[in-house]
C-alpha cells in the first residue's frame, strides 16, 4: 500500500498560488487510480491524461463527476473510446479531427469542448497549428457546421528551456492569438473562453500572461515513472 497523503498538501499549496479565475487540471498520467482518488478526496475534479486507454481505464474506476481533459496528441482512431465521457479535448490540431470528434460525440448525443492546440514553441516536436494555419482553418467557417463540438479556446506549450523570457514571449503569443480569434469569430458568444497554458515549472508565467487553465502534474503527484 502506498501512502498518498502528500497529495492533499501539495494540491492545497498549488491552489493557494492560483490567481482568481484560474482552473487547475491535475495531470495524473502514469499515476495509479489511488493517487487520483486521493486528489479527488481533497476536492479536485478536473484531471488530465495523455493516453486514451489509460484515461478510459481510470474513468471507469473513479467517480463519475470527474471532468476528464485529454491533453495528449489526438489520434483520430482513438477518439471513439473517449467520446462517451471526455469533457475537453485539449490537443486538436487540424480540422479533420474536429470532424471526427463531432461524429463520435453525436453517437452519444454529447457536445465535446475542444481546444485548438497552437504551436508557439521553437521545438519542431511540439504538435499544433501555427497561428496562421489556425486562422485559415477558422476562416473557412466549416467548423461552425459541427453541432457536437464547441471550440472553447486554445492550448499551448512553451519551449523546454531555462530562458524564461522566451517562455513568456511564447505564452504572450498564445494569448494574443486567443484574443484575435475571440474578436473575429466568437465575439457574439460566451463559449470561447479557455486559455490552457502553464505546467509545473512555468504556470506562474503563464498566469501572468493570461492563462486561465493550468495543467500541473509532477508538482502534485511527484515525478513520473514511465518504466511501469
Ligand atoms: C505531462 C503534461 C503536463 C504536466 O507537466 P508537469 O511538468 O508534470 O506539470 C502538462 N501538459 C501536458 C500537455 C502534458 O503532457
pLDDT in tens, 21-57: 999 999 999 999 999 999 999 999 999 999 999 999 9
pLDDT per position as a tens digit, 173-226: 999 999 999 999 999 999 999 999 999 999 999 999 999 999 999 999 998 887
Residue 1, pLDDT > 70, answer no
Question: Among candidates 4, 58, 62, 3, which has minimal Cα distance to 29?
Answer: 58
| Index of the ligand 1 atom closest to the CA of residue 25 | 10
Pocket test for ligand 1, best of 128, 199, 220 (most atoms within 8 A of CB): 199
| Index of the ligand 1 atom closest to the CA of residue 29 | 1
Dihedral over alpha carbons 217, 220, 223, 224 (to 10 degrees): -50
Establish whether residue 37 lines the binding site of ligand 1, counting it when its CB lies within 6 angstroms of any ligand atom. no
The residue whose CA is least distant from atom 14 of ligand 1 is 71
The residue whose CA is least distant from atom 4 of ligand 1 is 217
Angle at the Cα of 192 from the Cα atoms of 39 and 101, rounded to 5 degrees: 75
What's the chain look like in SS3? CCCCHHHHHHHHHHHHHCCCCCEEEEECCCCCHHHHHHHHHCCCCEEEECCHHHHHHHHHHCCCCCEEEECCCCCHHHHHHHCCCCCEEEEECCHHHHHHHHHHHHHCCCCEEEEEEECCCCCCCCCCECHHHHHHHHHCCHHHHCCCEEEEEEEECCCCCCCHHHHHHHHHHHHHHHHHHHHHHCCCCCCCCEEECCCCCCHHHHHHHCCCEEEECHHHHCCCCCCC
pLDDT per position as a tens digit, 91-137: 999 999 999 999 999 999 999 999 999 999 887 766 899 999 999 99
| Index of the ligand 1 atom closest to the CA of residue 50 | 15
Pairing of strands 23-27, 46-49: parallel
Cα distance between residue 29 and residue 90, in whole Å: 15
Pocket test for ligand 1, best of 30, 194, 217 (most atoms within 8 A of CB): 217
**Beta carbons within 10 angstroms of residue 68's beta carbon:** 22
Q: How many CA atoms lie within 13 A of 145 on its CB side?
A: 7
Separation of CA 220 and ligand 1 centre (Å) = 11
Establish whether residue 28 lines the binding site of ligand 1, counting it when its CB lies within 6 angstroms of any ligand atom. no
Establish whether residue 121 lines the binding site of ligand 1, counting it when its CB lies within 6 angstroms of any ligand atom. no
Cα distance between residue 152 and residue 166, in whole Å: 26
Domains by residue range for the chain, with CATH: 6-221 (3.20.20.10)
Separation of CA 109 and ligand 1 centre (Å) = 30
Establish whether residue 200 lines the binding site of ligand 1, counting it when its CB lies within 6 angstroms of any ligand atom. yes
Count of residues for the chain?
A: 228
What's the grid cell of residue 171?
Answer: 505564452
pLDDT per position as a tens digit, 60-99: 999 999 999 999 999 999 999 999 999 999 999 999 999 9
Q: What is the value of pTM for the model shown?
A: 0.96
pLDDT per position as a tens digit, 125-179: 668 999 999 999 999 999 999 999 999 999 999 999 999 999 999 999 999 999 9
- Dihedral sign computed on CA atoms, order 79, 80, 82, 84: positive
Residues 197, 156: contact at Cβ < 8 Å?
yes
Establish whether residue 71 lines the binding site of ligand 1, counting it when its CB lies within 6 angstroms of any ligand atom. yes
Amino acid at each position: 500500500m502506498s501512502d498518498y497523503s502528500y497529495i492533499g498538501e501539495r494540491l492545497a499549496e498549488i491552489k493557494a498560488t492560483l490567481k482568481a479565475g484560474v482552473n487547475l487540471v491535475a495531470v495524473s498520467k502514469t499515476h495509479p487510480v489511488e493517487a487520483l482518488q486521493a486528489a479527488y478526496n481533497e476536492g479536485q475534479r478536473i484531471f488530465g491524461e495523455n493516453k486514451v486507454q489509460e484515461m478510459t481505464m481510470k474513468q471507469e474506476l473513479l467517480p463519475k463527476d470527474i471532468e476528464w481533459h485529454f491533453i495528449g496528441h489526438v489520434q483520430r482512431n482513438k477518439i471513439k473510446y473517449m467520446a462517451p465521457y471526455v469533457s475537453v479535448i485539449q490537443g486538436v490540431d487540424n480540422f479533420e479531427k474536429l470532424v471526427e470528434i463531432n461524429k463520435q460525440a453525436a453517437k452519444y448525443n454529447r457536445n465535446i469542448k475542444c481546444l485548438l492546440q497552437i504551436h508557439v514553441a521553437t521545438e519542431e516536436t511540439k504538435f499544433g497549428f501555427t497561428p496562421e494555419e489556425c486562422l485559415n482553418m477558422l476562416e473557412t467557417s466549416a467548423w461552425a457546421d459541427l453541432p457536437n463540438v464547441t471550440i472553447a479556446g486554445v492550448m499551448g506549450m512553451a519551449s523546454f528551456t531555462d530562458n524564461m523570457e522566451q517562455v513568456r514571449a511564447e505564452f504572450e503569443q498564445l494569448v494574443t492569438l486567443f484574443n484575435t480569434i475571440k474578436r473575429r469569430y466568437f465575439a457574439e458568444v460566451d463559449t470561447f473562453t479557455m486559455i490552457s497554458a502553464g505546467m509545473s515549472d512555468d504556470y506562474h508565467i503563464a498566469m501572468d500572461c493570461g492563462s486561465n487553465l493550468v495543467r500541473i502534474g509532477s508538482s502534485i503527484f511527484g515525478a513520473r515513472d514511465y518504466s511501469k
